[in-house]
Amino acid sequence: MHAAPARPTAPAKRPRGRPRKTVDERDDGNRRRALIVGAARLFRRKGFDGTSTRDIAAAAGMQSGSPFYHFRSKQALLFAVMEEGMRHAVERQREAIAAAGMEQLPPPEQLRLLVRHHFQVLLGPGSDFIPVMLYEARSVSPRQRTSLAQLQGEYEQAWIPVLEALHAAGRLQADVKLARLLIFGALNWSVQWFDRRKGATLDELTAAALALFIGERA
């Protein structure tokens, strides 16, 4: 994904490409990506305003001014984290739905699949992007927020028919729209208290959520 396409028409500035100085060959995609990954971790741990661009540069092994070669501003870097996280989540949700043949499952199992996947996105390994998007939304521009809201809309599209089916079947008493907001709250808040090293597993968490929302026993 996002591999740099070859540019056959570009004139070679130096013969036989640029020299490789060390073993860790760097190309723009790698460095940009290192900034995004490091920024995601720092933004999650210390918040956007609590993280300096120097911290981010150091995390990627760069000097203090170098992030601005890759990103116009600190805010643009934040948006990149959020957008990449959201695109990734949407994509992985699509895959999970397809892989399980979700449409064939009974609605409670459809909800279980979505909840389990959402916990994975929030709490699984390397899961800094979505928590940053959820908890640092204040720091992006209105235009950026609108753009992210569109991706979030895509993500939520998968949930709506499931909740409506459960509502129609009498398994979900609450108003569907409010239920969706409350359910996402219950899941998203787990970022604040879940500790992967101890306590429940993601499967146990999922079971508890299903039991709470639709009275589904494990």
Partner DNA sequence: CCTACCGATCGGTAGG
Residue 135 found at the interface with a copy of itself (CB under 8 A): yes
Report the C-alpha dihedral over residues 42, 44, 48, 51, rounded to 10 degrees: -20
Neighbour count for residue 30 (Cβ, 10 Å): 12
Closest separation between CB of residue 105 and DNA, Å?
Answer: 45
Residue 213 found at the interface with a copy of itself (CB under 8 A): yes
Q: Where are the beta strands (DSSP E) in 105-150?
A: none
Closest separation between CB of residue 38 and DNA, Å?
Answer: 12
- Binder of residue 217, out of a copy of itself, DNA, none (CB less than 5 to 8 A by kind): a copy of itself
Q: Draw the binding track, 66-95, toward DNA (x: CB under 7 A; -: no contact).
A: x-xxx-xxxx--------------------
As a whole number of angstroms, the distance between CA 160 and CA 61 comes to 44
End-to-end CA distance of the chain: 38
- Binder of residue 72, out of a copy of itself, DNA, none (CB less than 5 to 8 A by kind): DNA
92, 113, 139, 199 from 105: Cα distances, Å? 19, 10, 40, 29
Contact residues toward a copy of itself (CB under 8 A) are 46-50, 135, 137-139, 172-175, 178-179, 181-190, 192-193, 200, 204-205, 207-209, 211-213, 215-217
